[in-house]
């Protein structure tokens, strides 16, 4: 059986095959467009690649096409909570009389043949692997089968990775932390001396009793206080431990507890107890995770995670006796340490290094403000 493929279709297939299998882009559905392919990789320099095979024969059509791209990009920005979405616009059928111009945030290329793809001043200048990337020779049917199988294989590999991240796992450390908090509450509820020895006392911390920065995060003032915090820890801890893994989860929890207590000492300068700084750190880590996996979580980041953070911060500012400084300190620490420990399935070595550096600077800065 023989299948005929025109030049544009072959270019499209080869480009999509390359971007999906080599550059880890994924196709996205854009409503209201025809003869266009949109690809997305939130971790790539060009987060959006758009391949348009529609014929553009004059300047007016090119201007209209540019407006259409901007409109779609605005939708993507809102959906992904992004301020910048650098876009690569590939046109396959552009009249030679049309003046090709790139706009801010949108770089446009005209591609008429496979040779155009491999030119240094073209796409190969951005993606050097395109110079040598090729497929085995064969008839058109072999080409279609090869491309389809490769894309399906890459998609299956990605799906397995995301299934590994999101599938339910035994929750152990969350329950351990809850148990430790309950034990500490039982031990200190009838022992004012022990409670006073472990409570977050800014003067004692400045005098060198730095252990209080952690021990205070395992103390609670009353039964309602510990009930609310342990319920929040169970809900958030289960998710963070499942999505990020046990070691990363406990690292985020402890560092957030530390930074929450440090911020409390700096701003509140009064006695304080509770796990809420660490819990806000888990919220920060969940926000960081949700941002990087927002294509798979849908609107959960925008409609659930961020509103929960904002509502709790507002409550903290409006109700007396709530240590909102600890909440803010833990929230920031949770985001930074989540960046430092990294996310499963994401190749982000630069982001992890940045996270480590920022986390160290953040803790050192808080330390300086405490001891100065």
Active site (catalytic) residues = 276, 327
Helix boundaries (H) for the chain: 7-21, 59-80, 114-118, 140-166, 173-189, 192-198, 202-206, 212-215, 223-244, 246-267, 276-292, 294-297, 300, 306-318, 324-341, 349-371
Which DSSP helix (H) or strand (E) runs through 51?
Answer: strand 48-52
Of 182, 299, 173, 160, the closest CA to residue 229 belongs to: 182
3-class DSSP state of 313:
helix
CA distance 295 to 79: 9
Q: How far is CA 200 from the centre of its chain?
A: 33
Of 334, 316, 321, 198, the closest CA to residue 257 belongs to: 334
CA distance 137 to 127: 22
Contact 248, 301 (CB under 8 A): no
3-class DSSP state of 36:
strand
Q: Cα dihedral sign for 187, 193, 195, 197? A: negative
For the chain, the distance separating the N- and C-terminal CA atoms, rounded to the nearest angstrom, is 81
Residue 277, CA distances (Å) to 4, 109, 229, 255, 328 in order: 63, 49, 10, 10, 7
Edge-to-edge, what's the strand order for the sheet holding 106-110?
26-28, 36-40, 48-52, 87-91, 106-110
CA atoms in the 13 A half-sphere facing the CB of 92:
20
Contact 42, 347 (CB under 8 A): no
């Amino acid at each position: 059986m023989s299948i005929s493929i025109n030049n544009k279709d072959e270019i499209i297939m080869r480009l999509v095959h390359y971007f999906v299998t080599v550059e880890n882009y994924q196709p996205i559905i854009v409503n209201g467009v025809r003869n266009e392919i949109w690809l997305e990789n939130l971790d790539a320099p060009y987060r959006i690649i758009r391949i348009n095979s529609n014929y553009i024969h004059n300047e007016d059509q090119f201007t209209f096409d540019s407006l259409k791209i901007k409109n779609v990009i605005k939708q993507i920005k809102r959906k992904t909570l992004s301020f910048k979405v650098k876009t690569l616009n590939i046109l396959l059928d552009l009249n030679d009389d049309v003046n090709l111009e790139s706009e801010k945030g949108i770089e446009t290329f005209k591609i008429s043949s496979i040779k155009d793809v491999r030119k240094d001043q073209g796409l190969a200048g951005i993606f050097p692997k395109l110079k040598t990337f090729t497929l085995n020779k064969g008839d058109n049917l072999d080409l279609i089968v090869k491309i389809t199988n490769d894309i399906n294989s890459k998609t299956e590999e990605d799906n397995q990775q995301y299934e590994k991240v999101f599938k339910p796992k035994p929750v152990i450390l969350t329950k351990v932390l809850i148990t430790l908090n309950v034990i500490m509450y039982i031990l200190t509820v009838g022992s004012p001396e022990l409670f006073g020895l472990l409570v977050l006392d800014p003067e004692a911390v400045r005098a060198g009793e730095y252990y209080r920065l952690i021990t205070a995060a395992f103390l609670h003032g009353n039964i309602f206080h510990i009930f609310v915090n342990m319920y929040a820890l169970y809900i958030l801890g289960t998710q963070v431990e499942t999505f990020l893994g046990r070691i990363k989860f406990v690292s985020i929890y402890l560092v957030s507890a530390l930074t929450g207590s440090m911020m409390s000492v700096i701003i509140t300068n009064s006695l304080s107890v509770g796990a809420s700084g660490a819990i806000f750190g888990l919220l920060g880590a969940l926000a960081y995770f949700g941002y990087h996996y927002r294509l798979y979580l849908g609107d959960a980041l925008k409609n659930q995670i961020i509103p929960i953070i904002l509502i709790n911060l507002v409550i903290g500012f409006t109700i007396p006796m709530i240590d909102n400084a600890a909440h803010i300190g833990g929230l920031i620490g949770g985001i930074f340490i989540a960046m430092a420990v990294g996310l499963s399935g994401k190749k982000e070595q630069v982001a992890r290094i940045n996270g480590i550096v920022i986390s160290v600077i953040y803790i050192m800065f808080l330390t300086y403000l405490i001891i100065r």
